[in-house]
């Protein structure tokens, strides 16, 4: 690739909604730090570390997987995975309440026994994730839906098994300005009123 056509693998995306669209649940102040500072820093660090590792032309997913497999590349893994996780998280949120529809609604019922049980299980997983990390709705290789959590920067895309459909960031920086220590208040509001089921359905249908 010619030097003048080189683009960095990691990009800070625009938020897909206005930063004040979530009211007091996730404030504009939280988005200003979380997107404008935390995510931006992960993106900048990931690009610099990828370049240093000779992976400046690789895809984001390839960088995440190669860095996970090499203990010497742990700092790259942490910043690369956090870059991907945050882009996925912004899209996992919806300002307006949605519920799963069609095939996805059917699969939620099959895998969890209905919306209420699903919502409780996801809330419990997100609240119970000790320290920093992420709660995920994923599709297993056999097609069943499942809830899982990852620690710190870890992400289901690091191995090619589970396909992520939605995520909730449960690092303190995601909720502390708005809810202080009350992670459960943040998680319950997101699970019940602010998950983007259109995005989840797109991910379920995608081949990747
Ligand atoms: Mn975060």
For ligand 1, the distance from its centroid to the CA atom of residue 105, given in whole angstroms, is 28
Interatomic CA distance for residues 84 and 165, integer angstroms: 13
For ligand 1, the distance from its centroid to the CA atom of residue 8, given in whole angstroms, is 21
The 10s digit of each residue's pLDDT in 150-171 is: 999 999 999 989 999 999 999 9
- 183, containing H or E segment: helix 183-193
Inter-residue contact 132 to 152 (CB < 8 Å): yes
Span 69-77, mean pLDDT?
97
pLDDT of residue 208: 52
Position 106 pLDDT exceeds 50: yes
Interatomic CA distance for residues 129 and 168, integer angstroms: 11
Interatomic CA distance for residues 202 and 104, integer angstroms: 10
For ligand 1, the distance from its centroid to the CA atom of residue 106, given in whole angstroms, is 31
pLDDT band at 2 (very low <50, low <70, confident <90, very high): very low
* 133-139 and 145-151 strand pairing: antiparallel
Q: Which two tokens stand for residue 44?
A: 């900048």
For ligand 1, the distance from its centroid to the CA atom of residue 175, given in whole angstroms, is 9
For ligand 1, the distance from its centroid to the CA atom of residue 42, given in whole angstroms, is 10
Interatomic CA distance for residues 120 and 118, integer angstroms: 5
Share of the chain above pLDDT 70, in %: 96
pLDDT of residue 3: 47
């Amino acid at each position: 690739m010619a030097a003048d056509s080189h683009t960095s693998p990691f990009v800070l995306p625009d938020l897909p909604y206005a930063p004040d669209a979530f009211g007091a649940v996730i404030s504009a102040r939280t988005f200003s730090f979380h997107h404008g500072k935390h995510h931006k820093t992960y993106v900048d660090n990931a690009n610099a570390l990828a370049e240093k590792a000779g992976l400046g032309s690789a895809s984001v997913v390839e960088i995440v997987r190669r860095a996970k497999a090499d203990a010497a590349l742990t700092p790259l893994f942490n910043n690369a995975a956090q870059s991907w996780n945050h882009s996925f998280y912004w899209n996992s949120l919806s300002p307006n309440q949605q519920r799963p529809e069609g095939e996805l609604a059917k699969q939620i019922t099959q895998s969890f026994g209905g919306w209420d049980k699903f919502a409780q299980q996801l809330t419990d997983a997100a609240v119970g994730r000790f320290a920093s990390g992420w709660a995920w709705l994923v599709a297993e290789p056999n097609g069943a839906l499942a809830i899982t959590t990852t620690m710190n920067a870890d992400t289901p895309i690091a191995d090619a098994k589970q396909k992520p459909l939605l995520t909730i960031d449960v690092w303190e920086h995601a909720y502390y300005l708005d809810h202080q220590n009350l992670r459960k208040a943040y998680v319950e509001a997101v699970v019940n009123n602010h998950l983007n089921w259109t995005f989840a359905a797109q991910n379920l249908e995608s081949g990747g």
